[in-house]
Amino acid sequence: MANQTITITLDPQTAKAYDSASPQEKRKLQALLSLRLRELASGEYPSLQKTLDELGRKAKDRGLTPQILESLLEGE
């Protein structure tokens, strides 16, 4: 089955990051997005709470503190 092209709307920063990626990085991103969309379409995806918990754990592991989060949300 041949690949198909779709169009998605992204925020400017994300679009710029994709546009500036190398061809190899773009292929990786396309593969990841394809897999994620398949998971979502099949209903085989984790609950929102599980996803948020995982994101929180990763952020904490990378040094994000409540104070840093608050300053980011305030736009400092």
Task: Pick 39 or 21 by higher pLDDT.
Answer: 21
CB of 29 within 8 A of CB of 18? yes
Judged by DSSP in three states, 67 sits in helix
Q: How high is the mean pLDDT of the chain?
A: 85
Averaged pLDDT for residues 24-48:
83
Predicted structure pTM score: 0.52
Res 76 pLDDT > 60: no
Averaged pLDDT for residues 24-52:
83
Task: Pick 7 or 73 by higher pLDDT.
Answer: 7
| Per-domain boundaries in the chain | 11-45, 46-76
